[in-house]
């Protein structure tokens, strides 16, 4: 069998899956590629994770559309591995299987009070406002005056920014109608952005940090005492560059004291490690411990203090969710792999391979690397002839599964864009509505 008619299966049609499909298509022209997703919609984080007011970032979906639209590529949406098809069946069907399932599950804080009402993980919260069907009914409580967001990454900034924006400022976003209603009814006055280390260790990026300066009703409050005047020795060039730029923005915020009277205050609180969430039945306050940073690590000193927190959102990173049979590294929350190799014929790429780090285009390099790895492994090996999508189609038909193909996605897309009425789109957020739109 020539490598040109290999059957390739990809599990997960997010950015990594799409980049991998593109890379394989280029490096193994003539390969047949099936790309599965548990949702009826492709593009993973681009649709369900990227902030709805960052439409520029979502433009990458156009490139992914071209990949999924190729004759050699089939999109099989609404197919969950472990429910509709097993991992073993996939391995029996495809010469090469690539796992690109991302990281959807929230990391746990592991502190008392985490299970109180009005405490959410960012994954849950973002899935809710972005209209992912299984997160749609979260109905988060945003009915108090204070929200504490734990974490100093870009996800924490996304959430704080969206909560800080006015309805007008969200008008050009694709924030879902159910979330807009909750945001508009909320009367939040204080949003705390809590970092367990200092501003130089924060992982958020400067462009995202600077966006707070443009929000009309938001005061950005930073205690200048928390901001170092100069960079310490020992930072890498990259850390220096990011640290300098972030510090400049934060010093600017610290100098804007006159904004205190604005209706929404965003407090940047550094060197504060979460210790407990307190409340009778729901969150009321967040207990924090002052920290100092010693080579990279936050050290607590037992000097605790509290901030009011009617809602707590932890934005501290994600874990992948394995399906039965998939080799999994439970400690790290990723697919067990050695530089992308999972087991013979099976590979992993993207966040499920290396952990939830890096912006969408960062997954391109990973995809090219996995494609090269596959090519190298195939060199000199004639893989056994496997049936590819034909086997999968038979199994899905026997099980009354309802796969959504690329044409089905295009119908969903058209229906959502048409419903947008001035917005980029109004997403369909119920599974049945998505499936109905797909069959048009
Ligand atoms: P992240 O950048 O890894 O940030 C996680 C934050 O949580 C860090 O500040 C971390 O602090 C903190 N943290 C972890 N465990 C904690 C604990 N137990 N208690 C308190 N704090 C804790 O992750 P993310 O914000 O989820 O973002 C994931 C990736 O997506 C990142 O690469 C991000 O840049 C990307 N992203 C990009 C955009 C954009 O470009 N606009 C938007 C969203 C996401 P330590 O550093 O001390 O561990």
**How far is 339 from 101, CA to CA, in rounded Å?**
16
122 CA distance to ligand 1 middle (Å): 10
DSSP β-bridge partners for residue 269: 194
**pLDDT tens-digit map of 76-115:** 999 999 999 999 999 999 999 999 999 999 999 999 999 9
Q: Tell me the C-alpha distance between 126 and 360, whole Å.
A: 16
Q: What's the predicted TM-score (pTM) here? A: 0.97
- From 271, 277, 314, 316, mutation site for ligand 1 pocket: most ligand atoms within 8 A of C-beta: 316
Tell how far the Cα of 208 is from the centroid of ligand 1, in angstroms.
Answer: 13
Q: What is the pLDDT of residue 440?
A: 84
- pLDDT averages per 10-residue partition of the chain, 440 residues: 78 98 93 97 97 97 97 98 98 98 97 98 98 97 98 98 98 98 97 96 96 96 92 83 94 85 95 98 97 88 95 98 98 97 97 94 92 91 82 97 98 98 96 96
Q: How far apart are CA 222 and CA 270, in angstroms?
A: 9
Q: What residues are paired with 265 via a beta bridge?
A: 190, 219
Radius of gyration of the chain (CA): 23
- Cα–Cα distances (Å) from 382 to 9, 98, 391, in that order, read 18, 18, 21
Cα 173 to ligand 1 centroid, rounded to whole Å: 23
Cα separation, 92 vs 97, in Å, equals 10
In degrees and rounded to multiples of 5, residue 128 shows phi and psi of -65, -50
User: Considering the chain, what is the average pLDDT of its residues?
Assistant: 95
Distances (CA, A) of 298 to 215, 270, 293: 31, 11, 5
15-27 and 362-378 are packed helices; what angle lies between their axes, rounded to 10 degrees? 40
Count of alpha carbons within 13 angstroms of residue 76, beta-carbon side: 21
Q: Which atom of ligand 1 is nearest to the CA of 49?
A: 43
Reference 35, options 332, 367, 265, 417; nearest CA is 367
Residue among 296, 284, 268, 250 at smallest CA distance from 150: 268
CA 4 to chain centre: 34
Of 27, 21, 17, 36, residue with least CA distance to 70: 21
What is the rounded CA–CA span in Å between residue 310 and residue 191? 10
Which residues, listed in sequence order, are joined to residue 335 by a DSSP beta bridge?
328
Q: Is 80 exposed, middle or buried (0-12, 13-18, 19+ CB in 10 A)?
A: middle
Residue ID of nearest Cα to ligand 1 atom 25 = 153
Give the Å distance between the CA of 150 and the centre of ligand 1.
9
Unique residue bearing structure tokens 């009814």: 185
Residue 271's CB is within 10 A of a number of other CB atoms, namely: 22
* CA 332 / ligand 1 centre spacing (Å): 15
Residue 347 · residue 376 · CB < 8 Å: no
Separation CA 116–CA 280 (nearest Å): 8
pLDDT in tens, 192-246: 999 999 999 999 999 999 999 999 999 999 999 999 988 887 788 888 899 999 9
Delineate the domains of the chain, giving CATH numbers in brackets.
7-104+320-404 (3.40.50.720), 109-316 (3.50.50.60)
Going by C-alpha positions, the residue among 16, 69, 27, 36 that lies closest to residue 388 is: 36
Order of strands across the sheet that contains 272-278: 272-278, 285-294, 297-308
Ligand 1 shell residues, CB under 6 Å: 109, 150-156, 158, 195-197, 201-203, 208, 274, 298, 315-317, 356-359
Partner residues linked to 146 by β-bridges:
190
- The whole-number pLDDT of residue 1 equals 42
**d(Cα 9, Cα 203) in Å, to the nearest integer?**
34
């Amino acid at each position: 069998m020539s490598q040109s008619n290999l059957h390739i299966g990809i599990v997960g049609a997010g950015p990594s899956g799409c980049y991998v499909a593109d890379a394989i298509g280029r490096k193994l022209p003539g390969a047949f590629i099936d790309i599965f997703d548990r949702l009826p919609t492709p593009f993973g984080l681009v649709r369900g994770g990227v902030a709805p007011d960052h439409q520029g970032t979502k433009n990458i979906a156009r490139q992914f559309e071209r990949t999924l639209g190729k004759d050699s590529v089939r999109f099989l949406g609404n197919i969950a591995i472990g429910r509709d098809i097993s991992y073993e069946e996939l391995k029996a069907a495809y010469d090469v299987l690539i796992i690109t399932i991302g990281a959807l599950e929230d990391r746990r804080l592991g502190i008392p009070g985490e299970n109180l009402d009005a405490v959410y993980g960012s994954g849950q919260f973002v899935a809710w406002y972005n209209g992912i069907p299984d997160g749609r009914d979260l109905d988060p409580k945003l009915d108090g005056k204070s929200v504490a967001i734990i974490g100093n990454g870009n996800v924490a900034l996304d959430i704080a920014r969206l909560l800080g924006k006015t309805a007008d400022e969200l008008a050009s976003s694709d924030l879902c109608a159910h979330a807009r209603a909750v945001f508009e009814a909320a009367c939040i006055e204080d949003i705390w952005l809590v970092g367990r280390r200092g501003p130089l260790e924060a992982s958020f990026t400067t462009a995202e940090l600077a966006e707070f300066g443009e929000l009309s009703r938001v005061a950005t409050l930073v205690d200048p005492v928390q901001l170092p005047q100069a960079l310490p020795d020992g930072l890498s060039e990259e850390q220096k560059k990011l640290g300098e730029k972030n510090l400049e923005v934060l010093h600017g915020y610290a100098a804007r004291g006159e904004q205190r009277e604005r209706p929404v205050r965003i407090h940047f609180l550094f060197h504060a490690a979460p210790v407990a969430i307190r409340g009778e039945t729901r969150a009321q306050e967040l207990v924090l411990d002052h920290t100092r940073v010693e080579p990279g690590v936050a050290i607590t000193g037992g000097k605790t203090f509290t901030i009011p927190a009617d809602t707590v959102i932890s934005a501290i990173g994600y874990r992948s969710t394995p399906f039965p049979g998939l080799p999994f590294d439970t400690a790290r929350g990723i697919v067990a792999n050695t530089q992308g190799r999972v087991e013979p014929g099976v590979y992993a790429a993207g966040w499920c391979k290396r952990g939830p780090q890096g912006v969408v285009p960062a997954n391109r390099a990973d995809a090219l690397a996995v494609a090269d790895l596959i090519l190298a492994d195939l060199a000199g090996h004639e893989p056994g002839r496997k049936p590819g999508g034909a086997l999968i189609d038979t199994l899905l038909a026997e099980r009354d599964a309802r796969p959504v193909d690329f044409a089905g996605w295009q119908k969903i897309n058209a229906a959502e864009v048409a419903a947008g009425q001035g917005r980029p789109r109004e997403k369909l957020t119920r599974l049945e509505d998505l499936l109905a739109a797909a069959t048009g």
